[in-house]
Amino acid sequence: LNGDVRKGGKTPDGEPDGSVFTVKGESVGIQVGTAIATLVRKTDHNPAHHVSFRHLWGQGKCAELLETAEMEPGELYQDIRPVLPLGLPFLQTAVSENWFDWPSLPELFPKSFPGVQTKRDSFLIDIDVDRLRSRVTEYFDADVSHEKLARRYPVAMKGSSGFVVRDARLVRDSLIARGGPTKAGFVRHAYRPFDQRWLYWEPGHGLLGRPVPDYWPHVFRENLWLVTQQKPRREWSPPQVIAHIGCLDLIDRGATCIPTWLRDDDITNPNGQDRRPNLSIAAQNYLTALDASVEDLFHHALAVLHDPAYREANAGALRMGWPRIPLPGWPKGTAEGAAGELAHSASRGRQLAALLDPDVPVPGVTQGPLRPEMTVIAVPATTHGRNMADEDFAVTAGWGHTGKGDAVMPGQGRVVERPFTPQERSAMAGCYGTLLPLGDTTLDVYLNDHAFWRNVPLPVWRYKLGGYPVLKKWLSYREQRVLGRALQPEEVLHFAEVGRRIGGILTLQGGGTK
């Protein structure tokens, strides 16, 4: 009987879906699911084998309930059999018949780490490394009093993780006594999807809210990480791929970072390397039988989890626990054709991984010559008809502002919906026209009153990763009053490049992963 604010408070037809408790003029949804039940247990009873379920949509729930009170339940309700291993969901749950025959991600890749959380993002994280160094150097300067530092950077001297301000001072004093900031502490940081920044990382001393010190030794450029989670708060999101230390908020409600490799500083494996694959014994035996590698398994898992058909067939199960990965010939790897199937899927996964990692150039998408459909996506332009110049780079269209606790809140910004030009339609028809439904209109996304990115197709603009609308989230942090400066030319091009990467991802998904 409740509307669901997490789904926008709308019915499947897009109409308002208020709960039975909705007050006129207030939000139509509520945050917490509500059940109203009368339960009777008889002395002589049969065990329950199914649940009868019914949706009541829209704003007339109470009236509809009364009108149908005398009808036979069989005419109104759907009988479902809740799945115990999924936690007994009392509604129809999309899950493949073989779901529990497939290994979960932790059963394949046993070691994982939660993302880093600073609880002082505005102080310890920055898009510009020089600004970050300046703040951190001042933090370590004993001649700067606690009071002066607190006035300049209030969040730096606030308590975190349950500590009071006094503890924040003790943390600073202990770090100053140790010496200045460590050069190695300034590291690249996967902060949000497609949004790489700089982080000042300390393994202990309380400077970061959640430093995850055992995570850092395994971060090196050759090591790719799958970013996912066990149970999402809202809709399940396909995994990200990162190569830098990841943020806990890469995914709404908390990111789990799963490495391909683990580094052993004290142990050299038989191959003479200081790293070993992050594999369970069962996964290692499976790959050995197929003469495959941990990278093959990693990229196969990535391809599967980005496959729209897989996600649709298992949408309910993905909301209830760890993703499970169908593997050809699992667990022995002896089935005919299994090696070829795995290799084919891993090849698709490698293409996805390159598109998802902003540091990896992708020929035809981020490296020239660009594919025809890529040349017309998110093209920097101005209303004057000339190329963008320095004076055009300030983002002032209202994409974001700083809220409580220095959190950046998204704004409405400015987009203009318009028909595709014949040139845009012609360039995109060969690829997107068959694999990715484009509709009849596209968007121009504005930085300010006179500068914009031309032709950001609606599927690209609406694309979400980690629960965030990727391009809009990126823009919210680049509003001039948030960033403190205009964009650099490479940042203007980065937005366009991310738009093309998303287009490439959607095209791959449209073509399937089989």
Q: How far is CA 389 from CA 186, 382, 393, in A?
A: 31, 9, 7
Query: Average pLDDT of the chain?
Result: 89
Cα–Cα distance measured from residue 89 to residue 86, given in angstroms and rounded to the nearest whole number: 7
Task: Name every residue whose Cβ is closer than 8 Å to that of residue 159 and which is 6 or more positions away in sequence.
Answer: 165, 166, 167, 168
**Mean pLDDT computed over 189-203:** 96
Element (H, E) at 494: helix 489-510
Which parts of 140-249 fold into alpha helices (H)? 146-152, 165-178
For residue 462, the tally of other CB atoms under 10 A from its CB is 14
Cα–Cα distance measured from residue 296 to residue 287, given in angstroms and rounded to the nearest whole number: 9
Q: What angle do CA 474, 478, 483 make, to 5 degrees?
A: 140
Cα–Cα distance measured from residue 395 to residue 475, given in angstroms and rounded to the nearest whole number: 8
* pLDDT greater than 80 at residue 359: yes
Query: How does pLDDT run across 287-297, given as a tens digit for each residue?
Result: 999 999 999 99
What residue type is assigned to position 305 of the chain?
Answer: L
Confidence band of 145 (pLDDT split at 50, 70, 90): very high
Cα–Cα distance measured from residue 97 to residue 106, given in angstroms and rounded to the nearest whole number: 21
Q: How far is CA 378 from CA 194, 411, 509, in A?
A: 16, 20, 20
Handedness of CA 291, 297, 300, 304 (dihedral sign): positive
Provide the pLDDT for residue 162.
Answer: 46
Query: How does pLDDT run across 60-96, given as a tens digit for each residue?
Result: 888 898 999 999 888 899 888 888 888 888 888 899 9
> First-to-last CA distance in the chain?
40
Handedness of CA 506, 508, 513, 514 (dihedral sign): positive
Return the biggest CA–CA distance within the chain. 82
Which parts of 68-114 fold into alpha helices (H)? 73-76, 105-108
Q: What is the percent of the chain where pLDDT is above 70?
A: 91
Q: Could you tell me which residue, 180 or 226, shows the higher pLDDT?
A: 226
Query: How does pLDDT run across 383-434, given as a tens digit for each residue?
Result: 998 888 888 999 999 999 998 878 899 999 999 999 999 999 988 886 665 5
Q: Is 456 in contact with 442 (CB distance < 8 Å)?
A: yes
Query: How does pLDDT run across 425-450, given as a tens digit for each residue?
Result: 988 886 665 556 777 899 999 999 99
Q: Could you tell me which residue, 434 or 382, shows the higher pLDDT?
A: 382
Q: How far is CA 477 from CA 160, 453, 481, in A?
A: 23, 17, 9
Tell me the backbone φ, ψ of residue 497, rounded to 5 degrees. Answer: -65, -40
Q: What is the dihedral of CA 504, 506, 511, 514, to 10 degrees?
A: 100
What are the DSSP calls for 43-112, one per residue? SS-PPP--EEE----SS-HHHHHHHTTTS-HHHH-EEE---GGGT--SS-----TTGGGSPBHHHHS---
Q: What angle do CA 342, 226, 94 make, to 5 degrees?
A: 70
Cα–Cα distance measured from residue 301 to residue 505, given in angstroms and rounded to the nearest whole number: 15
Tell me the backbone φ, ψ of residue 380, rounded to 5 degrees. Answer: -60, 135
Provide the pLDDT for residue 131.
Answer: 97
Q: Is 167 in contact with 236 (CB distance < 8 Å)?
A: no
Query: How does pLDDT run across 309-355, given as a tens digit for each residue?
Result: 999 999 999 999 999 999 999 999 889 999 999 999 999 999 999 99
